[in-house]
């Protein structure tokens, strides 16, 4: 049994806890920007392969009191690093959090790295090299008040980088946030799904992966645990094979994306090819004022430009009014969800929202606004 912590975007802890439960996690405890849980190695691999919301899954090695750099160094040296990191493998240390005496994450990480390689030298006469970009073993230290938690990062690069999106648009959503918005909307695969401002297609693509039961981790080159000394290649291959075998070959209902920008649609189509859903999801170059509903009812989910990254508030005000008009006139019977990082702009839509769900898009606090159109 291992103790794990899946890091997630702020506000998504409870949703991620549900996802982890559905994958078989035990002793689930949502915390701040993450969810603690327990399980075996199969679960660890399964979560990395299947979970759509987490950024990283950390395996806890230890937790100890930590007041200053000397205590940190001593406690890190007590860990039997040979079990996790042999000198022929490279390492990187990431530090988060702080206390009064350890208030620079770079310094904390350096202290931990020194403690590990010094211990390696003492026990084997050899030490691991540092590779901050693509290490074999990534170590995570978290300082909170007078306590330090040391973990191994089983994911490697963040899991939101699915690997199917080489081409990115002007302001793409992270894949994990797109998946979370879809889950928050309550959309089910038997309902038509439309994003009329789809950019590089992240929302329709994540909806397609969900509907076709395609594991989001299948497109990644590697996971952190693949270069751990205890990597079970047969188990990993079995889980991947099972994931491929369980994919569906037809969407239960239509999934569509449109955008006025030809290059965005080009990108969306390229991305759809990369994740094997090109023949399922339909992308078209259409300006918002020409968008027609593809069914009598369904879920429309989009993230319009909201000023932080694209356009000025004045130009955008007109655009939001137009969005409200199009929705009111043409999308009766649909459930509409709009991600907005700007409340003043969102109110210019001119529709009354039935729910506002707070979510973070990176560092930007946003609302997922829900509108029922009758
Ligand atoms: C914030 S981006 C959406 C990003 C997208 N969710 C992604 O992950 O790539 C907003 C998109 O709205 C599109 N857009 C802006 N005005 C539009 C209009 N009048 N009609 C259609 N699309 C429009 C832009 O081209 C842009 O791709």
Q: Domain extents for the chain? A: 2-153, 175-214+248-372
Q: Is 227 buried (19+), middle (13-18) or exposed (0-12) by CB count in 10 A? A: middle
Mean pLDDT within 291-315: 84
**Assigned fold of 175-214+248-372:** Rossmann fold (3.40.50)
271 lines ligand 1 (CB under 6 A): no
Instruction: With CA atoms as reference, report the closest residue to 4 among 200, 107, 154.
Output: 154
261 lines ligand 1 (CB under 6 A): yes
Q: Which residues contact 100 (CB under 8 A, 6 or more apart)?
A: none
287 lines ligand 1 (CB under 6 A): yes
Contact 112, 96 (CB under 8 A): no
Q: Angle at Cα 317 formed by Cα 313 and Cα 323, nearest 5°?
A: 135
Query: Does residue 150 register a pLDDT over 90?
Result: yes
203 lines ligand 1 (CB under 6 A): yes
Query: Does residue 313 register a pLDDT over 90?
Result: no
179 lines ligand 1 (CB under 6 A): no
Say which range, 77-86, 115-124, 162-171, has the weakest mean pLDDT: 162-171
Instruction: With CA atoms as reference, report the closest residue to 91 among 51, 44, 48, 128.
Output: 128
Give the mutation target among 165, 203, 264, 271 for probing the ligand 1 site: most ligand atoms within 8 A of CB. Answer: 264
Q: Is 11 buried (19+), middle (13-18) or exposed (0-12) by CB count in 10 A? A: middle
Query: Does residue 310 register a pLDDT over 60?
Result: no
Query: Does residue 122 register a pLDDT over 70?
Result: yes
Query: Tell me, what's the pLDDT at 311?
Result: 58
Contact 331, 300 (CB under 8 A): yes
User: Taking all residues of the chain, what is their mean pLDDT, rounded to a whole number?
Assistant: 95
Q: How far is CA 324 from CA 292, 304, 306, 327, 346, in A?
A: 14, 12, 15, 5, 9
364 lines ligand 1 (CB under 6 A): no
**What is the chain's Cα-based Rg?**
23
Query: Does residue 308 register a pLDDT over 80?
Result: no
**Assigned fold of 2-153:** VC0802-like (3.30.2130)
Token output for 271: 């991305």
pLDDT tens-digit map of 189-246: 999 999 999 999 999 999 999 999 999 999 999 999 999 999 999 999 999 999 999 9
Say which range, 91-95, 340-344, 351-355, has the weakest mean pLDDT: 340-344
CA 1 to centroid of ligand 1, rounded, Å? 45
pLDDT tens-digit map of 45-86: 999 999 999 999 999 999 999 999 999 999 999 999 999 999
């Amino acid at each position: 049994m291992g103790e794990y912590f899946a890091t997630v975007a702020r506000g998504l802890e409870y949703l991620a806890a549900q996802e982890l439960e559905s994958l078989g996690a035990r002793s689930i405890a949502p915390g701040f920007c993450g969810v603690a849980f327990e399980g075996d190695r199969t679960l660890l691999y399964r979560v990395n392969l299947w979970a759509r919301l987490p950024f990283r899954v950390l395996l806890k090695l230890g937790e100890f009191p930590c007041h200053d750099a000397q205590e940190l160094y001593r406690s890190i040296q007590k860990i039997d690093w040979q079990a996790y990191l042999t000198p022929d493998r490279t390492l990187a240390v990431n530090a988060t959090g702080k206390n009064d005496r350890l208030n620079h994450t770079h310094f904390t990480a350096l202290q931990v790295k020194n403690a590990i390689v010094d211990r390696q030298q003492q026990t084997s006469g050899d030490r691991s090299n540092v590779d901050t970009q693509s290490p074999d073993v990534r170590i995570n230290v978290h300082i909170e008040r007078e306590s330090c938690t040391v973990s191994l990062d089983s994911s490697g690069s963040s899991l939101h980088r699915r690997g199917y999106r080489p081409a990115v648009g002007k302001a793409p959503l992270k894949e994990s946030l797109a998946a979370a918005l879809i889950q928050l909307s309550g959309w089910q695969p038997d309902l038509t799904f439309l994003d009329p401002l789809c950019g590089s297609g992240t929302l329709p693509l994540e909806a397609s992966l969900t509907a076709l039961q395609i594991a989001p981790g299948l497109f990644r080159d590697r996971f952190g645990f693949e270069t751990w000394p205890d990597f079970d290649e047969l188990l990993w291959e079995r889980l991947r094979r099972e994931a491929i075998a369980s994919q569906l070959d037809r969407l239960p209902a239509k999934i569509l994306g449109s955008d006025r920008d030809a290059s965005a649609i080009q990108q969306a189509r390229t991305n759809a090819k990369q994740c094997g859903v090109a023949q399922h999801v339909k992308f078209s170059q259409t300006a918002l004022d020409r968008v027609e509903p593809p069914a009598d009812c369904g879920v429309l989910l989009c993230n319009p430009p909201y000023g932080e990254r694209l356009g000025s508030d004045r130009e955008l005000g007109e655009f939001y009014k137009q969005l409200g008009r199009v929705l009111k006139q043409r999308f009766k019977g649909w459930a509409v969800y709009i991600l907005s990082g700007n409340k003043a702009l969102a109110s210019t839509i001119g529709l009354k929202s039935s729910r506002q769900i707070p979510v973070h898009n990176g560092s930007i606090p946003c609302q997922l606004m829900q509108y029922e159109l009758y």
